[in-house]
Amino acid sequence: MVKKNKTITAFVFQDWHANSGNFKGRIFLALYRLAKWFHDGNKPLKVLGTPIIAGYKIVSQFGFGCDFPLTLSLGPRAKIVHIHGLVVNRKTKIGSDVVLRNGVTLGIKGDGFPGAPIIGDRVEFGSNSIVVGPVEVGNDVKIGAGCVVVKNVPSGAIAVGNPARLIIR
């Protein structure tokens, strides 16, 4: 339990630093990390954290208008710019140092279509960009604003347009 406690504290401070000057992003991610810690804990911890988990869901869905479930995997130093309108599938895996902007959607293709996105490290998403399906996005990738990604994106690439076309750096 001590190690898990250190991890959440480290993640909160790293996220806090990554979102310097972005009060909403700082508060949202700190609340997310705390609620996730309770959510992923043992049964007594989960019961004890029920008000925190419920508060997080209310703040995220009604206050910020985003669907950012506690079951997704989010690496450290996440940066959320203009938090409103984020929609992320519960099975999505997001690496470290990722930048999310307003209106980003990371999800599945629909009911009956398995597979959620797996996002690498240092990926930057433009506003209203969409990644759907069992798509793997490599490290050091930039996804342009309004881009719709339905195929894998290799590390170091830039994805633009709808459907996404790749510009390899």
Q: What is the bridge-based pairing of β-strands 93-94 and 118-119?
A: parallel
- The rounded mean pLDDT for the chain is 92
24: nearest Cα among 72, 84, 75, 70: 84
pTM for this predicted structure? 0.90
pLDDT of residue 2: 34
> What are 104-141's pLDDT values in tens digits?
999 998 877 889 999 999 999 999 999 999 999 999 99
What is the predicted pLDDT for the residue at 127?
Answer: 97
Residue 77 pLDDT greater than 80, yes or no: yes
Question: What domain count does the chain have?
Answer: 1
Domain with 58 in it: 2-168
Q: Is 85:103 a contact under the CB 8 Å cutoff?
A: yes
Q: What is the pLDDT of residue 7?
A: 75
CATH number, position 80 = 2.160.10.10
User: At residue 159, does pLDDT exceed 60?
Assistant: yes
Q: Confidence band (pLDDT; 50, 70, 90) for 6?
A: low
pLDDT at 114: 85
| pLDDT category of residue 150 using cuts at 50, 70 and 90 | very high
DSSP string, 67-93: B--TTSEE-SS-EESS-TT-EE-TT-E
